[in-house]
Structure 1
Amino acid sequence: MTDLKLPDTAGRLTPYSLQGTPWTAQAPACAFNRVVFSAAHVVADPFADVAPSSGGKIDWEATLQYRRYLAELGLGIAEAMDTAQRGMGLSWADSLTLIRETQKALSGTNVPIYSGCGTDHLDPATVRTLDDVTAAYLEQVDAIQHSGGRLILMASRALARVAKTPDDYLKVYRTVLARAEHPVVLHWLGDMFDPALAGYWGTDDLTAARDVALQVIAESTSKVDGIKISLLDKQREIDMRRMLPASVKMYTGDDFNYPELIAGDEVGYSHALLGIFDAIAPAASHALTALAQGDKQRFLDILEPTVPLSRRIFGAPTQFYKTGVVFLAWLNGHQSHFVMLAGHQAMRPLPYFVDIFRMADQAGLLRDPELAASRMRQFLALHGVQG
């Protein structure tokens, strides 16, 4: 049965019948003409007898199977990023294991894999100097490169804490990039995703911060494949995109405006490194295929219904968007439970989940409507909703 009753914010129940036509999950018919990464979530082990405060344990088989699923749809994997709860339940030790296991699981494929490299094994409160931050970055750089991995150089909470000026950022990034064996992707993550990153690049002025990031790139252009910016501000992304060296890609991290940014304009376009592609993977794959075949309008038509869903998933407090991503994975049968590292399944209110269910249906993102409806009924019953 795909009919059920959904509550509003006052608890009133309204009949709802699933109406979406699910997108098929299939290999793309042609190569994409954008470089595309999905930042992938991890699946927790629901049977682990550990306190949520410890972070929890990973179900490795289910986690790697999800990466195979994304890869089969033609999506590259951005591994051990914030979508995987990096720094919010996923430790550096488990991140490194995840990086290595994903590389093994997808070896022999043409799927690009880049992995998050940061300083999260440090407690920012104990860091005193820029040298501490640099050494921590280099420890992760060496570990990932030793395993054959390519780097996404993530923003550092520790650096945000101890840096006093833009020159401090330039010094650290200059040294770290010099150690890179292959061009890396820089990641500028806004404080809406992580409040500890406020004032990144040494200033609260986003235009001045952009200029610092551009200087980092200008000083080490041969070491930079691209930059991902996650500021949820499309015009800032477009403006910066037009200022990048020709060899450096812009990877959109804008989960609010991704269709038009990837489609581009008369001057250029963005590639993609997005957490939302975890949740909308089949639609994204079909859309990117259409774009590669020259049908820009179909690309936009496919992705347009996913935007309200993405904006709800990534709504404030944005740092808990992973809860919505994993909820959809559970509804769609990619995992047998809705348990997250560090207990993050509890970080959103019931109306949020009701909206996600409805919006995912309308965007064709519930791949087995009967299963999704059944699981939604279970979820509602857990919250005291009977109907």
Structure 2
Amino acid sequence: MGTTLNLPVPSGGLAPLTLVAGPKPAPASGAWNRVAYAAAHVVADPLADNDPWIDAAIDWERTLAYREYLWGLGLGVAEAMDTAQRGMGLDWATSLELIQRSVALARSGGHTIACGAGTDHLTPGPDVSVDDVIAAYELQCEAVEATGGRVILMASRALAAAAKGPEDYAMVYARILGGLSQPAILHWLGEMFDPALAGYWGAEDHMAAMETCLTVLADNAGKVEGIKISLLSAEKEIAMRRRLPKGVKMYTGDDFNYPDLIEGDDQGYSHALLGIFDPIASAAARALSALGAEDHAGYRQAFELTVPLSRHIFKAPTRFYKTGVVFMAYLNGHQNHFTMVGGQESTRSTQHLAELLRLANDAQLFTDPDAVAARARPVFAARGVEV
């Protein structure tokens, strides 16, 4: 059957796509001049006897193997973040087990890892107070630090619902950061990723919210290693990056504009903590190796073709981007099925998956075209299309 797929197109009918073999993943070369984390997905156990919309069943062997793959390319792992379906199928109990397993593996191999701590075991509601939010944050932060992991302080749906204004955010973050044993990475996740986080930092306007966030960073700079912002706006990230307290890193969470933001300008640059680094890990490693060698042309070449794919994977509704991340892992043989925690494989259309294949092929992210074609066919057949 070869490496040509006949994929559906929006205008109707099918159009052929001939898959090409891209470069094989290779370990990082030279010293990198950027810190780079890939927010990693989880592999569901498709044979678990559970309620898929309610219970999170994880294939631990393949989930941990994927982290080994990322580390092998030179990337750090950002564990139990939204890319791992935190808040969209992965509950706190399972998240903690994931963190415990991953940190143990990282420490045994000397790898870089940081782990999400939030309040997702606390259901937002009118009876939830700011003190309840603090207690929830403390519980998760203590659990993460007990493993030896660095905390990524995730944005809190409960805090967004309970806070009366910027002063509540300032008080909560000061309290939580003050109790940590080592500096944390903060995560400002925009409402495009999670609608429940609209108005975070006490303002609907991002620039007004940024003022509160910058005040929090300045007041707690000794407890902050960096901040990841995910607003999908290069302009807002650069504006904030230029005002960060000395010693506080900017980690881009912008899956639309990451090449420019990481490369930077004459006033600074961003490090990386990105969900898109999960499916484009091999290209990211090539790009960062080139940048470390001051080969800016090689850097741009490695990243350039991945941007259309990333923009497609993260297109609105952005919160469903995890489906594209897992589909890519399946196509490239990192898991043997396209089943997701919470049944999230259903959140993107057949046309979306077809376009993902075309863009990933353009980006040269498939190393074994025959295997990719063999994996793609049953997915489309289950959706009524013989490709």
Which TM-score band (shorter chain)?
A: over 0.9
Q: Deviations over 1:273-327 (max 9, x none)?
A: 0000000000000110000011112101110100000000000000010000000
- Find the counterpart in structure 2 of residue 3 from structure 1: 4
CA–CA distance in structure 2, aligned partners of residues 287 and 386 of structure 1: 36
Other structure's SS at 1:375 match? helix
Q: Specify the SS of the correspondent of 1:124.
A: coil
Which aligned pairs between 1:304-315 and structure 2 lie closer than 5 A?
304-315=304-315
For residues 208-247 of structure 1, the aligned pairs below 5 Å read 208-247=208-247
- C-alpha root-mean-square deviation of aligned residues, in Å? 1.0
Q: How many residues align?
A: 386
Is the aligned partner of 1:195 residue 2:195? Answer: yes
Mapped contact 1:75–1:285 kept (Cα < 8 A): yes
Per-residue CA shift, 1:188-233, capped at 9, x if unaligned? Answer: 0000000000000001111110010001111110000000000000
Shift of 1:127: 4.5
Q: Which residue of 2 aligns with 1:141?
A: 141
- Cα shift at 1:56: 2.8
Contact 1:127-1:133 within 8 A present in 2 as well = no
Report the counterpart of residue 107 of structure 2 in structure 1. Answer: 107
Deviation at 1:254, TM superposition (A): 0.1
Higher mean C-alpha deviation, range 360-369 or range 332-341: 360-369
Deviations 1:229-250 (A, max 9, x none): 0000000000100000120000
Matches of residues 238-277 of structure 1 in structure 2 within 5 Å?
Answer: 238-277=238-277
* Residue 14 (structure 1) shift: 1.4
Select between 95-104 and 10-19 the one with higher mean Cα deviation.
10-19
Q: Distance in 2 between matches of 1:85 and 1:126?
A: 25
Aligned AA (2:104): K
Post-superposition offset of 1:126:
5.9
Which blocks of at least 5 consecutive residues in structure 1 are unaligned?
none
Residue deviations 1:59-108, cap 9 Å, x none?
00000000000000000000000000001111111111111101122223
CA distance in 2, matches of 1:127, 1:372: 50
Match of 1:382 in 2: 382
8 Å CA contact 2:56–2:91 kept in 1: the answer is no
Question: Alignment partner of 1:24: what SS?
Answer: coil
Other-structure match for 1:33 = 33
Aligned mates of 2:127, 2:104 — CA distance in 1: 34
* Aligned-partner residue type, residue 284 of structure 2: A
2:57 is aligned to 57
Q: Deviations over 1:156-177 (max 9, x none)?
A: 0000001011001001001000
TM-score by length of 1: 0.98
Residue identity (%):
54
CA drift of 1:111 comes to 2.3
CA distance in structure 2 between the partners assigned to 1:378 and 1:384 by the alignment = 10
Mapping 1:82-97, distance limit 5 Å:
82-97=82-97
**Per-residue deviation, 1:386:** 2.2
Aligned match of 1:170: 170
Question: Partner of 1:54: helix, strand, or coil?
Answer: coil
- Separation (CA, whole Å) in 2 of partners of 1:377 and 1:133: 46
Report the secondary structure of 1:278's partner residue: coil
Structure 1 match to 2:19: 18
Tell me if structure 1 keeps the 8 A contact 2:106–2:112.
no
Amino acid of the structure 1 residue aligned with 2:15: T
Q: Provide the residue aligned with 1:317 in structure 2.
A: 317
| Structure-2 residue corresponding to 1:332 | 332
Find the residue that maps to 2:96 and give its secondary structure: helix
1-structure distance, mates of 2:293, 2:327: 32
Letter in 1 for 2:5: L
Query: Which structure 2 segments of 5+ residues have no match?
Result: none
**What residue identity is the alignment partner of 1:383?**
R
Deviating beyond 3 angstroms after TM superposition, the runs of 4 or more aligned structure 1 residues are none
8 Å CA contact retained: 1:230, 1:254: yes
Other structure's SS at 2:125 match: helix
Contact 1:287 1:300 in 2 (8 A): yes
Q: Distance in 1 between matches of 2:205 and 2:62?
A: 42
Tell me the amino acid that sits aligned with residue 275 of structure 1. G
The range that moved more, 47-56 or 36-45, is: 47-56
Contact 1:115 1:149 in 2 (8 A): yes
